[in-house]
């Protein structure tokens, strides 16, 4: 893993965010451990939210982190919202 030090501080990789993570990957959700989550319902004030959560292997979380790290700045907090830009090695100088 290229970003082992960076990964140690990231607990959530948010793929979508609106007043909180709506979809992404987490190192731990309850007793499930590494997981993928997606918001599926909420009340009109968005105070209560319902998520679907699926357990994944830690290797999947690590691989997603590594791939998204290719085109993004280093994470600076436990919740990371990477942009969807990937480095093109053919154009790298």
For residue 27, the model assigns a pLDDT of: 94
Decide if 56 is inside a domain: yes
Q: pLDDT digit string (tens) for 3-55?
A: 444 555 799 999 999 888 999 999 999 889 999 999 999 998 878 999 999 99
Q: For the beta carbon of residue 22, count every other beta carbon within 10 angstroms.
A: 17
Decide if 93 is inside a domain: no
Q: pLDDT digit string (tens) for 52-72?
A: 999 999 999 999 998 888 877
Decide if 92 is inside a domain: no
69/30 Cα distance (integer angstroms):
26
Question: pTM for the complete prediction?
Answer: 0.77
Decide if 23 is inside a domain: yes
73/82 Cα distance (integer angstroms):
8
For residue 57, the model assigns a pLDDT of: 96
Decide if 68 is inside a domain: yes
Greater confidence (82 vs 87) lies with 82
Identify the domain containing residue 50 by its residue range: 4-87
**Domain tally for the chain?**
1
For residue 22, the model assigns a pLDDT of: 94
């Amino acid at each position: 893993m290229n970003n082992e030090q960076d990964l140690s501080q990231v607990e959530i990789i948010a793929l979508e965010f609106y007043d909180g993570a709506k979809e992404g990957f987490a190192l731990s959700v309850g007793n499930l451990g590494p997981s993928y989550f997606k918001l599926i319902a909420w009340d009109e004030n968005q105070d209560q939210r319902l998520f679907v959560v699926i357990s994944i292997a830690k290797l999947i979380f690590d691989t997603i982190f590594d791939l998204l790290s290719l085109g993004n700045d280093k994470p600076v907090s436990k919740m990371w919202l990477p942009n969807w830009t990937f480095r093109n090695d053919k154009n790298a100088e």
